[in-house]
Amino acid sequence: MLQEIILSPFRGFCAGVDRAIFAVEECIERFGTVYVNHQIVHNTHVVRDLESKGAVFIEDIAEVPTGSYLIFSAHGVSPQLKEQSRNFKLLPIDATCPLVTKVHIEAQDYFRKGYSLILIGHAGHQETLGTMGYAPMTLVQTVEDVEKLEMHNGKIVYLTQTTLSLDDTKDIVFALKKKFSNIESPKVEDICYATQNRQDSVKELAERCQLILVVGSQNSSNSKRLVETAKRFGIPSYLIEDESEINFDWLENVTTLGLTSGASVPEFLVKNVLNAITSCFGNISVHNLERIDEKIEFALPRELN
């Protein structure tokens, strides 16, 4: 019988997500209808809410009327897409997370210095697609990909997608360093603070819980990594969009449940899940792990200043 729910303290929007959503809301208030290239962040509820306020989400910028405002999502886009938006006479607003922009700048800088670039990331993810537009680079997703690599340039560096599994990435980096003794790493870790804090918190939950629920959308990379982190530590875990996706059969024989969310998840969704579970089981102890304040804020896109 469920007796206790332990909440990860690292929930709700990270600074990059908060900035991107606020940018869309600010544009709607100033300009009315605005267009957004791809989902501004990977959360279904956030997208629906912004659509109800006047945002139009598109995947092909050819759909955007000339002279319209076009917002680039937090995941970032390639310079080619930015150029295309100017050719279409659109008014672009770049809501790319500054930590993703950091990787873009690194890629350009290392390429100018004559390095061969390796990107650790997930094929097809919006962030990876954008980053790979900034310089020629080779994508690796697994240790097996590393084993197949052939690099002939003397100077090699690896970069990473910002929302990866810390543990999986360490394994890939270890394989890269074993194969290429001269490979260099970015001066500052590319995996973002919010991803790291949330995964570390899941590891702590895994020491105390029999099951961990992660609130987040199926296309959210950082949310999926939380589920993988729990399973890596031998703890069953499920990714749920909201309270409607709870399967109470999962909780059979669970006395302590861990609850967390991805970095693009509104806090009210976590509260709804918590309320649904406590309503079902009655008097349950609920408390948070100790929190360290992230204290990270980003300025609005320069086009809105």
| Predicted confidence (pLDDT) per residue in 123-169, tens digit | 999 999 999 999 999 999 999 999 999 887 689 999 999 999 999 99
Q: Is 179 exposed, middle or buried (0-12, 13-18, 19+ CB in 10 A)?
A: middle
| Domain assignment of residue 301, yes or no | no
Single residue among 97, 120, 145 that ends a domain in this structure: 97
- Is-catalytic flag, 290? no
Confidence of residue 302 (pLDDT cuts 50, 70, 90): very high
Residue 257 corresponds to which amino acid? L
Asked if residue 89 lies in contact with residue 17, where contact means CB atoms within 8 angstroms, the answer is no
What pLDDT does residue 187 have? 84
Tokens, residue 201: 């918190």
User: Does residue 292 register a pLDDT over 90?
Assistant: no
* Token reading at 184: 């260099």
Average pLDDT value for residue range 72-99: 97
- Structure token digits, residue 76: 């970032």
* Cα diameter, the chain: 63
Residue 297 lies in a domain: no
H or E stretch at 169: helix 166-179
* Mean pLDDT for the stretch of residues 274-303: 89
Q: Is the pLDDT of residue 11 over 90?
A: no
Share of the chain above pLDDT 70, in %: 100
Domain limit, last residue, from 138, 164, 189: 189
CATH of the domain at 62: 3.40.50.11270
Within a domain: residue 39? yes
Give the Cα separation of 271 and 215 in Å (integer). Answer: 10
- Residue 185 in domain: yes
The model's pLDDT over 45-77, given as tens digits with 9 standing for 90+, comes to 999 999 999 999 999 999 999 999 999 999 999
Range of the domain at 75: 15-97
Q: Is the pLDDT of residue 79 over 80?
A: yes
Count of domains observed in the chain: 3
Which CATH number does the domain housing residue 228 bear? 3.40.1010.20
177-224 per-position pLDDT tens digit: 999 999 999 988 899 999 999 999 999 999 999 999 999 999 999 999
Residue 211: beta bridge partners?
257
pLDDT the model gives residue 164: 94
Instruction: Give the pLDDT band (50/70/90) at residue 290.
Output: confident
Burial class (CB in 10 A: 0-12, 13-18, 19+), 305: exposed
Secondary element (H or E) of residue 87: helix 79-87
C-alpha span between 264 and 46 (Å, rounded): 8
Q: Is the pLDDT of residue 93 over 70?
A: yes
pLDDT at 153: 67
Residue 304: inside a domain: no
- Check whether 12 has a pLDDT greater than 90: no
Task: Catalytic residue, from 26, 127, 147, 303: name it.
Answer: 127
Assigned token pair, 242: 């909201």
If pLDDT is split at 50, 70 and 90, which confidence band does 305 have? Answer: confident
In this predicted structure, the answer to whether residue 282 has a pLDDT above a threshold of 90 is: no
Same domain, 171 and 110: yes
Q: What is the pLDDT of residue 163?
A: 94
Residue 87: pLDDT over 90 = yes
Average pLDDT of the chain to the nearest whole number: 95
Judged against a pLDDT cut of 90, whether residue 22 lies above it is answered with yes
